[in-house]
Structure 1
Amino acid sequence: MLTRKQHDLIRFIQQRLEENGISPSFEEMKEALDLKSKSGVHRLVSALEERGFIRRLPNRARALEILKLPEASVKPRARELAAAAAAKSNIINLDAARNAKLPEPASNPEPANNNVLNIPLHGRIAAGAPIEAFEGTEILPVPAALLGSGEHYALEVSGDSMVEAGILDGDFALILRTDTARDGEIVVALVRGEEATLKYLRRDNGRIRLDPANAAYDPQYYAPHEVQVQGRLAGLLRRYH
């Protein structure tokens, strides 16, 4: 079952295809659905593609094909059911949490209640080319069940280089603060003391290799002294529109 935004998007794509045979641009989709950014469109398109409603035609710009259409109307509880299904796979709806008034940052996470922890949210981190992280601090409420022992923080993901690991643009990566990692773990890597990125970490013939989870991106190679591990991925939160 689709969310209302997903339902609205596929209907809009269908309408434009029927009108002129060309699928709308991401900018047109953003405006039609009254979204704040194109990242929201990317998430909706990816969700429809994963559910088999549309597919992207390779080597063609603005090329989407509708494979099937949803039911004529969205049932009243579609959004609640979608959120409940996501929660079962440890990916939860953050709309209410992000819109709520947040408390002042604390030096250590403190329980908000028996089931929720408030952890620091530090800026954005790249799942693509490295960008700066830790640009500021807010507080993010997180279900305690998603976190194990140790100190945690969160980063908002920017980019698509980890999509094959299920990490999408706009997700919130929950990070266990640590300076060590085993080969094959997804880490926050600070590169040359300036830029941070979220990648698989591997050691390769005396070098550090940061691997994406997207065939469109190449691995990044660095000398060991150029890479500092600042945490390991512990979980994900995803906002649904």
Structure 2
Amino acid sequence: MLTAKQHELLTFIHQRLEKGGISPSFEEMKDALELKSKSGVHRLISALEERGFIRRLPNRARALEVLKIPEKGNAAPIQLSGASPMARSNRPVGAMPVAANDVVSVPLHGRIAAGVPIEAMEGQNSLSVPMALLGTGEHYALEVSGDSMIDAGIFDGDYALIQRARTARDGDIVVALVHNEDATLKYLHHENGRIRLDPANSSYTPQYYREDEVEIQGKLAGLLRRYH
């Protein structure tokens, strides 16, 4: 059973996806439910996700998919094949097919900031990657924008190969989604109850956030570089 607010939020998200194919913003959800702060929306989203009614689409701001909706009365929830054509097209890729020459195709999800955070957008393209650069698990690729990680050998225009992950250890290079809006590629550190995202360029300063302001969406697994 869902609470009244959980049901109201799920219905609102589902209707917006059906209408325009884009999830409502947290501000829109807060206003629609007449909540005082967006932290209440975050709690409702987490509860719906834990119960399997929705899921977040990785590495894209404002990306939610409704998986099922409660039926009227006591009937079982209705399973949905996808909230919208956009949501269906962005389903995570499962087991990746291996080609005869040990090259696999991974989703290419737009650009990631190595500098000031920028929005990382889902894309419809793919990138062929040597299997030797990937470990176990599910992976995707992002094009690097900026120079804040050059001392780690990560340059503007490189393709960062990312292993999907929700957690990481201090010192890992991660994709961090900040304020559920902007994504950046940085070293991860925990410091005095806060998250510190460190650049690898002395021209940039570390970024500090509360733990609830940052969501880890993957760890750097490898790099590809094209020479022109």
- TM-score w.r.t. length of structure 1: 0.55
Amino acid at match of 2:93: S
- Structure 1 residue 135 displacement after superposition: 3.5
d(CA) in 2 for partners of 1:134 and 1:173?
14
Alignment equivalent of 1:145, drawn from 123, 132, 156: 132
Alignment equivalent of 2:170, drawn from 178, 183, 208: 183
Runs of 4+ in structure 1 over 2 Å off: 104-109
* 2:213 corresponding residue in structure 1: 226
CA deviation vs aligned residue, 1:95-131 (integer Å, no higher than 9, x gap): xxxxxxxxx9983322233410000000000000000
- Structure 1 residue 136 displacement after superposition: 1.5
SS of 2:156's equivalent? coil
Q: Given the alignment of the two structures, is residue 169 of structure 1 paired with residue 156 of structure 2, yes or no?
A: yes
Q: Given the alignment of the two structures, is residue 198 of structure 1 paired with residue 185 of structure 2, yes or no?
A: yes
SS of 1:164's equivalent? helix
d(CA) in 1 for partners of 2:141 and 2:175?
11
Alignment equivalent of 2:102, drawn from 115, 120, 131: 115
- TM alignment of 1:52-71, pairs within 5 A: none
Gaps of 5+ in 2: 1-88
- Structure 1 residue 148 displacement after superposition: 0.7
* 2:123 corresponding residue in structure 1: 136
d(CA) in 1 for partners of 2:209 and 2:198?
11
d(CA) in 2 for partners of 1:148 and 1:120?
16
d(CA) in 1 for partners of 2:193 and 2:227?
42
Q: Answer yes or no: is the 8 Å Cα contact 2:93–2:138 preserved in 1.
A: no
- Structure 1 residue 212 displacement after superposition: 0.2
Gaps of 5+ in 1: 1-103
SS of 1:141's equivalent? strand
The CA RMSD over aligned residues, in Å, is: 1.6
Amino acid at match of 1:107: V
Amino acid at match of 2:116: A
Identity over aligned residues, as a percent?
Answer: 68
